[in-house]
């Protein structure tokens, strides 16, 4: 496991600055990039917002596969472990995500049983969780991760967030909370969506309660500003991609369409992403599902394979540059390429192509619908990959998180 500085802010996080900054500090674009960087240098995603079941269907994981993935909230790399792959290398530029990934791995390995795991990672307002951390986890963590969770924020140890509701924290958690507050100010209680009992009721609630909010002047004003959506983890480059989808370059219709998919295309009982968005929690056993990695049927195999994961405070390109040729099988880039310059894009794909075994696959998501790499990769790299376009469109429609425009699958040519 790579060492990381648990409290390094944006100013000291050279890895994040290199990935994000493109413009001079005193330009409009440069100011926007730096503001996003400041916000993104804290905890952003307590839960990852990419659907792991879709990932595993696209990747067709097998026991001999060696995986490289971006960590984010850590849920998906744990879901991949349910297929018992040979290894998973997790990378992330955000030290808060590194600490969360390592804690989730330790929770699987060292908490006494599945009930304790679910109580710690999924149940809000469980006052015993920080005591479980002290009893079972703290001594098992590496020094940097232990220092992070024992560190104090606003006078309380960070780990006590698990005594409350970690999913209400982080940049995204606070953004969702602000959206709930804004809706309440307009007379709409978004939590009421969790009381619906059918797709028909979900659509009725969306059309009668939620959709009209997007016509409110304050909502259109907020969504017209890049900085207002930094709480979704949307950097300036992604905002521009989303705005390009609308004729008037307003992001409000795009967000409305994505929220409509989240609210209306999948039953609440099957969609834990919708439970987090509308209920600020996971459903109970009778209400809705837990994330894939927390389901009881996957517990034993994930726990048995925790030691196959290595977590690195590094970029995708940085990690792969250290690895031998033809040594990896599956690559998960999340939406990171939406941030990248052409140079960065070619750098990461050059290393992916060098390290990819025959039959390797790459999956990623994009804010807009089209694949971000087409027309941008050098022909010498692009010609070594097949685009599974039809399968990509099929799986995009099935993505329960609903926040991305496109899901894309590429396969290494023989």
What pLDDT sits at residue 316? Answer: 97
Enter the tokens of residue 153: 């924020």
What pLDDT sits at residue 25? Answer: 59
What pLDDT sits at residue 129? Answer: 98
What pLDDT sits at residue 31? Answer: 46
Q: What share of the chain is helix, strand, coil (3-state, %, to 5)?
A: 55, 10, 35
- DSSP string over 237-283: HHHHHHHTTSTT--SHHHHHHHHHHHHHSS-GGG-HHHIIIIISS--
Sheet with 87-91, edge to edge strand ranges: 309-312, 87-91, 66-70, 328-332, 356-366, 406-412, 385-387
pLDDT at 84 over 50: yes
> Region 197-210: what's the mean pLDDT?
98
What pLDDT sits at residue 401? Answer: 95
In sequence order, the β-bridge partners of residue 387 are 410
What pLDDT sits at residue 220? Answer: 86
pLDDT at 272 over 90: yes
> Region 350-371: what's the mean pLDDT?
96
Tell me the pairing of strands 309-312 and 328-332: unpaired
pLDDT, tens digit (0-9, with 9 covering 90-100), for 181-202: 999 999 999 999 999 999 999 9
Assign 248 a pLDDT band (cuts: 50, 70, 90).
low
Crossing angle between the packed helical segments 389-397 and 52-59, to the nearest 10 degrees: 160
pLDDT more than 70, % of the chain: 84
What does the mean pLDDT of the chain come to? Answer: 90
In sequence order, the β-bridge partners of residue 411 are 361, 386
Tell me the pairing of strands 156-157 and 152-153: antiparallel
Rounded CA gap, 396 and 275, in Å?
Answer: 20
Residue 28 or residue 48, greater confidence: 48
> Region 54-70: what's the mean pLDDT?
98
Rounded CA gap, 253 and 359, in Å?
Answer: 39
> Region 210-223: what's the mean pLDDT?
91
What pLDDT sits at residue 245? Answer: 62
Assign 5 a pLDDT band (cuts: 50, 70, 90).
low
Q: DSSP state, 353?
A: H
pTM, full prediction:
0.90
pLDDT at 38 over 60: no
Three-state SS annotation for 272-339: HHHHHHHHCCCCCCCCCCCCHHHCHHHHHHHHHCHHHEEEECCCHHHHHHCCCCCCEEEEECCCHHHH
In sequence order, the β-bridge partners of residue 311 are 90
> Region 370-388: what's the mean pLDDT?
97
pLDDT, tens digit (0-9, with 9 covering 90-100), for 124-163: 999 999 999 999 999 999 999 999 999 988 899 999 999 9
């Amino acid at each position: 496991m790579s060492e990381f500085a648990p409290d390094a802010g944006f100013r000291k996080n050279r890895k994040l600055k290199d990935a994000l900054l493109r413009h001079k500090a005193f330009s409009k674009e440069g100011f926007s990039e730096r503001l996003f960087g400041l916000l993104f240098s804290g905890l952003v995603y307590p839960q990852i917002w990419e659907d792991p079941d879709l990932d595993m269907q696209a990747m067709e994981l097998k026991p001999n596969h060696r995986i490289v993935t971006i960590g984010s909230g850590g849920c998906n790399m744990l879901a991949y472990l349910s297929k018992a792959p040979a290894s998973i290398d997790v990378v992330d530029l955000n030290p808060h995500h590194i600490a969360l990934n390592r804690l989730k791995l330790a929770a699987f390995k060292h908490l006494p049983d599945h009930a304790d795991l679910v109580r710690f990672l999924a149940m809000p307002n469980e006052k015993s969780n920080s005591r479980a951390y002290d009893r079972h986890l703290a001594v098992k963590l590496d020094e940097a991760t232990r220092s992070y969770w024992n560190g104090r924020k606003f006078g309380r140890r960070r780990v006590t967030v698990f005594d409350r509701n970690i999913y209400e924290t982080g940049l995204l958690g606070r953004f969702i909370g602000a959206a709930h507050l804004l809706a309440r100010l307009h007379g709409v209680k978004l939590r009421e969506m969790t009381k619906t009992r059918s797709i028909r009721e979900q659509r009725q609630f969306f059309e009668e309660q939620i959709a009209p909010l997007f016509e409110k002047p304050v909502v259109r004003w907020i969504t017209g500003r890049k900085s207002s959506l930094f709480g979704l983890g949307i950097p300036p480059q992604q905002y521009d991609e989303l705005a390009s989808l609308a004729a008037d370059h307003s992001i409000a219709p795009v967000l409305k369409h994505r929220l409509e998919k989240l609210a209306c295309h999948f039953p609440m009982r099957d969609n834990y992403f919708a439970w987090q968005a509308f209920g600020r929690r996971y459903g109970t056993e009778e209400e809705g599902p837990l994330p894939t990695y927390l389901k009881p049927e996957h517990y034993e195999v994930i726990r048995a394979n925790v030691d196959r994961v290595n977590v690195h405070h590094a970029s995708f390109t940085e990690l792969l540059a250290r690895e031998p040729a033809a040594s990896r099988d599956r690559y998960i880039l999340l939406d990171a390429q939406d941030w990248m310059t052409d140079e960065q894009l070619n750098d990461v794909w050059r290393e992916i192509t060098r390290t990819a075994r025959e039959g390797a696959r790459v999956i990623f998501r994009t804010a807009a619908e089209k694949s971000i790499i087409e027309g941008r990769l050098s022909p010498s790299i692009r010609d070594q990959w097949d685009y599974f376009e039809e399968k990509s469109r099929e799986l995009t429609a099935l993505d329960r998180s609903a926040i991305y425009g496109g899901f894309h699958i590429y396969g290494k040519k023989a």
